[in-house]
Amino acid sequence: MISQEMASRINAQINREMYSANFYLALSAQAEAMSLRGVAAWFFAKHGEELEHAMKMYRYLIDQDAVVRIGDVAAPEAVEPSVIEMFERTLSHERGVTANINDLVDHALSEKDHATNIFLHWFVTEQIEEEATVNDILGRVRLFGDQGQSLMLIDNELADVAKQIGQAQDTTAA
């Protein structure tokens, strides 16, 4: 059993993870509209990952006999049809999520809630990986540009990465 305050903070994070899922779905739709199938598939795969994050927290609250509260999820802002801007927005979004996760860890530590602290470690590690991945994509898009052949190469590469994420998600679900 965890404290009501801790549960309420995790419920707020479930809401933010669901927002993240919609944020990525909106980016995927924007990429589809630009005929960028690989970019769209990558954002769609991220959408699936964010839902998994929300469900991990949902399951944790249930296992801890805490109340799950599903609230309204804010609509993502409109996205400009620019691949650089889409990845810049992604990086700044993920940095915000990292700060949210760190706040949750700080709170778990302040309550000496060891179970929640350990549970959150997975998310701390995940955020390092997510920021690094987006930083890497953004670095290359900035270097080579987001037009013409460079864009085609990045689109193809992201299609492959999305396939791998999809396969990993299938394995986790199995």
Report the nearest approach of ligand OFO to the CB of residue 18 (Å).
10
Report the nearest approach of ligand OFO to the CB of residue 104 (Å).
12
Establish if 14 lies at the interface with ligand OFO (CB under 6 A): no
114: closest CA among 64, 157, 169?
64
| CB-based contact 24:46 (threshold 8 Å) | yes
Binding flags for ligand OFO, 59-98, as an x/- string (CB under 6 A): -----------------------------------x--x-
CA distances from 95 to 9, 115, 156 (A): 18, 25, 26
Establish if 130 lies at the interface with ligand OFO (CB under 6 A): yes
Report the nearest approach of ligand OFO to the CB of residue 54 (Å).
8
Applying CB under 6 A, the site for ligand OFO has a residue count of 8
| CB-based contact 144:154 (threshold 8 Å) | yes
91: closest CA among 141, 57, 53, 154?
141
Determine whether the annotation assigns residue 53 to a binding site.
yes
Joined together, the tokens standing for residue 83 give: 């691949």
**Count of residues in the chain:** 174
Q: Which residues bind ligand OFO (CB under 6 A)?
A: 17, 20, 50, 53, 94, 97, 126, 130
Binding-site sequence positions for Fe cation: 17, 50, 53, 94, 127
